[in-house]
Chain A
Amino acid sequence: MITAERILLGYDFYRRRHDDAPPAHIPALRAALVFARELARSEADQPAALLFAFAVQRHTFGPAWAFMAKSIAIQEAHALGWALALEDGDKLVRAYLWRMSVAPFEDVRAFVAARLRPL
């Protein structure tokens, strides 16, 4: 699974391009990674677990939380050999991502699994 340090380097780069983005909340970032590792029963669960954990810890990246949660999940899927597209035009993506706190992880796992395609 991607490390906190790599996420921070990526986010710092993002912040330089969008200099309005606040610094990352590092304890929340580390807590999200611990939570994601607890949620993932197998390697295949990791993209969904990361998406869910960073949506729950949404103050980690300020207004960029959804952008970063999606980026981290898509990157993890890519590292495992899958393409994952999470368009907000997809109504389920909007419903799950923007109201993730009321969706159980099992639903998010099934939802993400249905959107994974082999690279």
Chain B
Amino acid sequence: MTTAIPVDIRPAPTKLVQRALAKVARGEALTGEERELVRANLDALAPDLRGASQEQRARRLNVITGGPLPPVRVLPEEVPPELSDNPLIQLWQTMTPAQERGLAQSAELGRREYVAGLAGLDWDEVMDADPSLPGP
């Protein structure tokens, strides 16, 4: 009679985390399990958050896991009086819907590029594999 030797064939956690991050970099949604995995590894992924508030940690986790980003449109009540004449802040209040869409898309692509870096992926290769991001 032979004795079965238990062999854990699951990928190492870091590989699983990298796989989850790669999904975000490609613009794909994470499962709840994958989000939890990233949450459990947040300290390793974002060492600068050591000692940060729970709110800051939650915001970073949201970015890394592909959660919704803050709106790009600024509301007048958000602007302190001393910044009311700043031309960029004025743009973010008065931009057209097409400009708003364009800026939101760039914020999202910027996030994907950032997460690709965390996953150790080459952003050019991510773009090459994404048919919605044409080459030069």
Residue numbers of A with Cβ under 8 A of B are: 2, 6-7, 9-11, 13-14, 17-20, 62-67, 69-72, 74-75, 78-79, 83-89, 91, 93-95, 97-99, 102-103
Chain A proximity mask over B30-57: 1 for CB below 8 Å, otherwise 0? 0000000000000000000000000010
A63 touches B113 (CB 8 A): yes
* List of A residues within 8 angstroms of B98 by Cβ: 85, 87
By the criterion of a CB under 8 Å from any partner CB, how many residues of chain B are at the interface? 39
> What 4 A-B pairs come out closest when comparing CB atoms?
A10-B88, A88-B105, A63-B114, A66-B106
- B59 at interface, CB cutoff 8 A: yes
Is the pair A95, B107 in contact by a Cβ cutoff of 8 Å? no
Are B136 and A103 in touch, CB under 8 angstroms? yes
Contacts of A19 in B (CB 8 A): 56, 59
Q: A18-B70, A19-B59, A87-B101 are in contact. Are A78 and B106 (CB under 8 A)?
A: no
Q: A20-B63, A74-B99 are in contact. Are A79 and B114 (CB under 8 A)?
A: no
Q: Is the CB of A102 within 8 A of B109?
A: no
Partner of A71, one of B59, B88, B96: B88
CB interface residues, B 80-119, toward A, < 8 Å: 83, 86-92, 95-96, 98-99, 101-103, 105-107, 109-111, 113-114
Whether B89 contacts A13 by the Cβ 8 Å rule is: yes
Q: Return the chain B residue nearest A93 by Cβ.
A: B102
Would you mind naming 10 contact pairs between A and B with Cβ atoms under 8 Å apart? A2-B88, A10-B89, A13-B89, A17-B70, A17-B74, A18-B69, A74-B103, A78-B91, A85-B98, A94-B134
